[in-house]
Structure 1
Amino acid sequence: MAAKSFDMIVIGAGPGGYVAAIRGAQLGLSVAVVEREHLGGICLNWGCIPTKALLRSAEVFHLMHRAKEFGLMAEGLGYDLDAVVARSRAVAKQLSGGIGHLLKKNKVTVLMGEATLPRPGVVAVKTGAGTEEITAKNIILATGARARVLPGLEADGDLVWTYKHALTPKRMPKKLLVIGSGAIGIEFASFFNTLGADTTVVEVMDRVLPVEDAEISAFAKKQFVKQGMKILEKTTVVKLDRSPGKVVAHLQDAKGTVTADFDTVISAVGIVGNVEGLGLEALGVKIDRTHVVVDEFCRTGVPGLYAIGDIAGAPWLAHKASHEGVMVAELIAGKHAHPIKPGTIAGCTYCTPQVASVGLTEEKAKAAGYTVKVGRFPFIGNGKAIALGEPEGMVKTVFDAKTGELLGAHMVGAEVTELIQGYVIGRTLETTEEDLMHTVFPHPTLSEMMHEAVLDAYGRALHM
């Protein structure tokens, strides 16, 4: 029997893969998707979405404790961890099912199984029933990434957890160590700390949330400490001694090594690309530190083979993967595709307080040779923030002093993950300070701080 042929095959149905498939189908291509585990990938099933559901529960619990401030009464406060997790899983299941419906609606062929590329233009799909070969002139790798494992810090699901164990905890940690203070680490630290775990965060770099602007990191750290977290920077976990119900962590900083006891450890020390077992090396695909090397259009250098999302390297963000998926599908369909500008991709962290940013930090802008104008505006100067009972936070803008170009924007505080998009649009449209100053922001909203932070960069802030 001849192998089924498609215009485009996508390997992986995460936020990059399923979006690429849908866009390809919209453009009239015949499309197949191969997925080995879950439609929606890590993001929908074990990442972005279920973590937000957990964090929402923690946020509501935190607000319940503040009821008195708002003239409300709430007594006998508590939580059911199993019910919190069950809600998170139900949210993930609902969305994963939705992806199946979207692919079906767009007439995308879905094959559940393990993919390999035995020859150029051929994908072998291994299922319980055997192996089937399908062919296409264009193949998109969207296999994503998994948690990095450091020797000696391997997860066991009992004392040492990965993000997967942390999403479905069998118990509530009493004394928690989180290794790594990037988005994943700090979100789990925030969740468990809010529910009452005695939480310590260890970061090897000189500050928490190390990819963020230094001022924003410092502000966020102050809030985390206020909430009872212990933050250890420039510190490495060199060893974990495990015994029933207890982990002794050996923590090393510039002064030497100390030990501390914990009942739970979450390892969040980065990710590695899922590049193994696909047959990429034999095809001549270049791999650098577990990531496929691609050009600005996600081309691997092997004709007809593309790589998108986490497997294609930083930034490791679902929205970047989706956008790349659309771009590649349009390229394959012969449309005029625009490469993604990394400087217009926002990063969001959903801890309390939230952190969001786009473009260059002040430090990076100066290092790139810009003379900068920097504006700041605090939440305490905003009427809506005070009315919400959320006066802790700031918005920071970085402009090119010569041209007025918005180089970067950085925020920490309530709902900033929703606000950042205003600056993202500004960056995409190559906005100057003048455009932003002439924009009328609605009152009373948190977004007014975005206006004020621009005004402040030019000595024109009105409310401070």
Structure 2
Amino acid sequence: MDTPIYDVIVIGSGPGGYVAAIRGAQLGLKCAVVERKHIGGICLNWGCIPTKALLRSAEVYHLASRAKEFGLTVEGLGYDPSALVQRSRSVSAQLNAGVGFLLKKNKVDVIWGEAEISCAPTPGEPGKILVRESTAAHPQEPQSSAPKGVLSPGTYHARHIVVATGARARVLPGLEPDRERVWSYIEAMSPPAFPKSLIVVGSGAIGIEFASLYRTLGADVTVIELLPQILPAEDAEIALFARKQFEKAGIKILTGARRSSISKEADGVRAMVTIGDGMEELAAERLISAVGVVGNTEGLGLERLGVALENGTIATRGAGRTNVHGIYAIGDVAGPPMLAHKAEHEGVACVEEIAGHAAHALDKQRIPACTYSHPQIASVGLTEAEARTNGTEVLVGRFPYIGNGKAIAAGETNGIVKTIFDAGTGRLIGAHMCGAEVTELIQGFVIAMECGATQSDLARTVFPHPTLSETMLESSLAATGRALHI
């Protein structure tokens, strides 16, 4: 063979892929990643990271607009759209370079191109991967040039192949992005100018984050959601609380709404929306389609090899194993929840099992979800409705930010923490939050669930004062009627 036999080749260098390769290298495996577009994947380059950079700019702008409340004077407040975008791109570029450095540091080879699995590994023979020149398969995503020091397209061999190709934006008929009037997340993150009016189709985390961003920067924003609840995956009470905050901020929200037609015009977009028995016409300069994502399973040779697919993603069991020997899948392409932190943990579990370590199962009920809007939303575990549907008798605690000293001092009193405990065992089975910094606070509840903490455990825990984290203690106390500050 012209090329070395790798222990592991990972297809895709997103959060799951590059972490899997690095962990494999730490365990003494010879590893490589194949990447066709961006080191660090969509999350780092056109997803999680740049959106958070933009949302941080919007947060600072929002705080500056409230300067008088804090006894401060700010004159001539404004923003430079190109500078906002440039900052977010710089943040991504810095992290992109950082991932490249980590791969090099850990002696992980990078192969630049598009991979197809020609032959699956067998117990006696390595599998074969054909890597071709990269092409712009999805033109809405800008193509990166190959970094220095990467390996060229060709045929490569590996004893284990991990598919970590991620996902892309779902495209619905009539909502195809055109880069001008109808945007995907790519255009929404790098607009030449910020629109004065905007329609967002979809109210999941992506849609709500863009709605919050553009509304904070002054746009008239309307969100269209087919289901009766925004943030459909969240606890209904928290979603309703968040909706009231968004509407108070000026976002128009239409739920139970079905788009009947979308027409592009010289000055923008016009949408006809059916709500119940009525119909409403909406007009805006731009429309963002945020209707979810689909796994990148095409072109990999999976169907020819007999790799089982399930609901458009790769079916897995255990630590990423597929039904075909030697082929594994992790991250978004392996199914929901499609979150970067889930992908990273799946990548670690997968290569640790390949290296002969005991597999550790990933409990998806303990994977937190975060939405970085204003206010933020964060959750882990069962919603109240899910718990009751399961027949679980529950204790529910709630505590509002208005009862927290740090929240009052910070001027962030619009928030709530909700905790759900199994009444029989006392164990924490769900936590749901909306308010300032809840995306940072949720990890406390995640750790508690991972350790099997009970309501009594949390009630006995000393939380520092004054902090927003005290709302977590008070919510836990409230589950048994013992809240102290309300």
* Shorter-chain TM-score tier: over 0.9
Please, what TM-score do these two structures have when normalized by structure 2?
Answer: 0.94
**Partner of residue 50, structure 2:** 50
Q: SS of 2:194's equivalent?
A: coil
Aligned partner of residue 150 in structure 1, secondary structure: coil
- Gapped regions of structure 2 (runs ≥ 5): 121-126, 135-150
In the other structure, the counterpart of 1:393 is: 415
CA shift for structure 1 position 313: 0.6
Q: CA deviation at 1:438?
A: 1.1
CA distance in 2, matches of 1:402, 1:266: 45
Q: Distance in 2 between matches of 1:87 and 1:236?
A: 36
**Unpaired runs of at least 5, structure 1:** none
Cα offset, 1:257, TM superposition = 2.7
Secondary structure of 1:200 counterpart: strand
Within a 5 Å distance, the mapping from 1:140-151 to structure 2 comes to: 140-151=162-173
1:269 partner amino acid:
V
- Counterparts of 1:11-160 in structure 2, within 5 Å, are 11-120=11-120, 121-127=127-133, 131-160=153-182
CA distance in 2, matches of 1:292, 1:250: 36
Instruction: Check the 8 A contact 1:153/1:239 in 2, yes or no.
Output: no
Q: SS where residue 280 of structure 2 aligns? A: strand
Runs of 4+ in 1 over 3 A off after TM superposition: 128-131
Shift of residue 245 of structure 1? 2.3
Paired residue secondary structure (1:118): strand
Deviation at 1:131, TM superposition (A): 4.3
Note if contact 1:4-1:133 (Cα within 8 Å) is conserved in structure 2. no
Identity %: 59
Q: Deviations over 1:127-182 (max 9, x none)?
A: 37984111111100000000000001101010000000000011211110000000
Contact map agreement 2:415 2:433 (CA 8 A) in 1: yes
Give the whole-Å Cα distance in 1 for the aligned partners of 2:359 and 2:67: 51
CA separation in 1, counterparts of 2:291 and 2:2? 46
Tell me whether 1:375 sits opposite 2:397 in the alignment: yes
* Residue pair 2:322, 2:328 contacting (<8 A) in 1 also: yes
- Please say if residues 198 and 221 of structure 2, whose CA atoms lie closer than 8 Å, have aligned partners that are also in contact: yes
Could you tell me which residue of structure 2 aligns to residue 256 of structure 1? Answer: 278
Compute the displacement of 1:238 (Å).
2.6
Q: Secondary structure, in 3 states, of the residue corresponding to 1:385?
A: helix
The 3-state SS of whatever aligns with 2:168 is strand
- Determine the structure 2 residue equivalent to 1:235: 257
Deviates more, 1:326-335 or 1:258-267: 258-267
Does residue 364 (structure 1) correspond to residue 386 (structure 2)? The answer is: yes
Aligned to 2:148: none
Please tell me whether the aligned partners of residues 401 and 415 of structure 2 are also in contact (alpha carbons under 8 angstroms). Answer: yes
Q: CA deviation at 1:298?
A: 1.3
How do residues 252-291 of structure 1 correspond to structure 2 at under 5 angstroms? 252-291=274-313
Q: Which residue of 206, 209, 218 corresponds with 1:184? A: 206
Partner Cα distance (1:457, 1:258) in 2: 43
User: In the TM superposition, what whole-angstrom CA distance separates every residue of 1:38-79 from its partner, at most 9, and x where no partner exists?
Assistant: 111001000000000000000000001100000000011100
CA distance in 1, matches of 2:153, 2:460: 61
Q: Say if 2:115 and 2:129, in contact at 8 Å, map to a contact too.
A: yes
Give the conservation status (yes or no) of the 8 Å contact 2:113–2:152.
no
Task: Give the Cα–Cα distance (whole angstroms) in 2 for the partners of residues 288 and 328 of structure 1.
Answer: 19
Structure-1 residue corresponding to 2:146: none
For the Cα contact (< 8 Å) 2:19–2:347, is it kept in 1? yes
SS in 2 for 1:57: helix
CA distance in 2, matches of 1:37, 1:130: 14
Post-superposition offset of 1:4 = 2.6
- Identify the residue that residue 4 of structure 2 maps to in structure 1: 4
2:328 aligns with: 306
State the distance in 2 between where 1:289 and 1:164 align: 25
| Aligned-residue offset at 1:256 | 3.1
By how many angstroms is 1:457 displaced?
0.1
Is 2:175 the counterpart of 1:169? Answer: no
The amino acid of 1:124's aligned partner reads L
Q: Secondary structure at the match of 2:15?
A: coil
Q: Residues 424-452 of structure 1: CA distance to partner in whole angstroms, max 9, x if unpaired? A: 00111111111111110000000011000
Contact map agreement 1:5 1:134 (CA 8 A) in 2: yes
What is the letter of the counterpart of residue 396 of structure 2?
A: V
Between the aligned partners of 2:392 and 2:206, the Cα distance in structure 1 is 32
- Residues in 2 aligned to 1:67 and 1:130: alpha-carbon distance in whole angstroms: 54
Write the deviation string for residues 283-334 of structure 1: whole angstroms up to 9, x where unpaired: 1111123200111321111001110000011001000000000000100000
Q: Partner amino acid for 2:108?
A: V
Equivalent residue number for residue 433 of structure 2: 411
Q: Work out the CA distance in 2 between the residues paired with 1:113 and 1:130.
A: 7
Contact 2:112 2:152 in 1 (8 A): no
Amino acid of the structure 2 residue aligned with 1:123: I
1:255 and 1:170 mapped to 2: Cα distance? 39
CA distance in 2, matches of 1:368, 1:12: 38
1:10 is paired with a residue whose SS is: strand
What residue is the counterpart of 1:350 in the other structure?
372
Maintained 8 Å contact 1:350/1:417:
yes
> Which amino acid letter does the alignment assign opposite residue 242 of structure 1?
K
Rounded to whole Å, the distance in 2 between the matches of 1:18 and 1:364 is: 34
Alignment of 1:434-449 (within 5 A): 434-449=456-471
